[in-house]
């Protein structure tokens, strides 16, 4: 296998694992702030990837995508548990906990855009190290936009379902919960049909914000 392909996989995998770790640690931290110590006691309020690894979603799935030459990596981490009985506000707090994950991915994308501008606007892109950092930054932006959008699909067990459940009446919540066993399949279908357009648009805008005015040497 070509060294360039292996190097690209390593870069993507680093970005994916880091982003998943921040996503889950954000769930855990907000759950702690809302009064539930479960995630903290399990050691989940950390960026250590080992605490968040899901054998299938964090290891097997990305490796399968690599060996089948799928041009991008995707995966998931171990869900963060919390005890609703410990929450300060049983109606509001589950939504805050759920939204913390996608919000953290959006924050990573925004911070990466700012870092690219600060790092390159003055000096341009002159060395191979600059090119590597640029590629790493663009991967970080793309993966985090993807994670944020995918997780906001409003079907359980994805984070967006908590927001939809908050807005629905009790009958609607029961209907939403009933599709839980099929939620991932529904989310994959929705993302494959409708996610690429918004994702490509956001990535184009992010690229423009990050690179506008940067000169290549």
Annotated catalytic sites, by residue? 24
Structure tokens given for 111? 């911070």
CB atoms within 10 A of CB 110: 14
In the three-class reduction of DSSP (H, G, I as helix; E, B as strand; rest coil), residue 82 is classed as: coil
Calpha distance 91→165 (Å, rounded): 10
Q: Is 127 exposed, middle or buried (0-12, 13-18, 19+ CB in 10 A)?
A: exposed
Calpha distance 40→56 (Å, rounded): 23
**Closest among 215, 18, 5, 41 to 117, alpha carbons compared:** 215
**Closest among 96, 99, 140, 147 to 116, alpha carbons compared:** 140
Q: How many residues are listed for the chain in this entry?
A: 217
The residues, ordered by sequence, that sit 6+ positions from 158 with a Cβ below 8 Å of its Cβ are 150, 151, 152, 183, 187
């Amino acid at each position: 296998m070509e060294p360039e392909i292996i190097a690209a996989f390593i870069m993507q995998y680093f970005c994916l694992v880091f982003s998943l770790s921040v996503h889950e640690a954000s769930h855990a931290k907000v759950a702690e702030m809302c009064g539930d110590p479960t995630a903290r006691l399990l050691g989940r309020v950390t960026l250590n990837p080992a605490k968040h690894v899901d054998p299938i979603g964090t290891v097997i799935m990305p490796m399968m995508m690599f060996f089948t030459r799928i041009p991008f990596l995707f995966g998931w981490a171990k869900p963060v548990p919390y005890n609703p009985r410990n929450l300060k506000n049983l109606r509001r707090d589950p939504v805050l906990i759920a939204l913390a994950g996608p919000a953290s991915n959006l924050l990573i994308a925004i911070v990466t855009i700012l870092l690219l501008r600060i790092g390159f606007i003055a000096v341009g892109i002159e060395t191979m190290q600059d090119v590597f950092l640029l590629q790493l930054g663009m991967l970080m932006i793309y993966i985090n936009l993807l994670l944020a959008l995918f997780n906001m699909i409003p079907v359980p067990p994805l984070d967006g379902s908590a927001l939809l459940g908050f807005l629905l009446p009790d009958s609607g919540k029961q209907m939403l919960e009933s599709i839980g066993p099929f939620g991932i399949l529904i989310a994959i279908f929705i993302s494959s049909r409708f996610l690429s357009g918004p994702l490509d648009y956001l990535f184009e805008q992010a690229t423009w914000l990050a690179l506008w005015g940067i000169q290549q040497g």
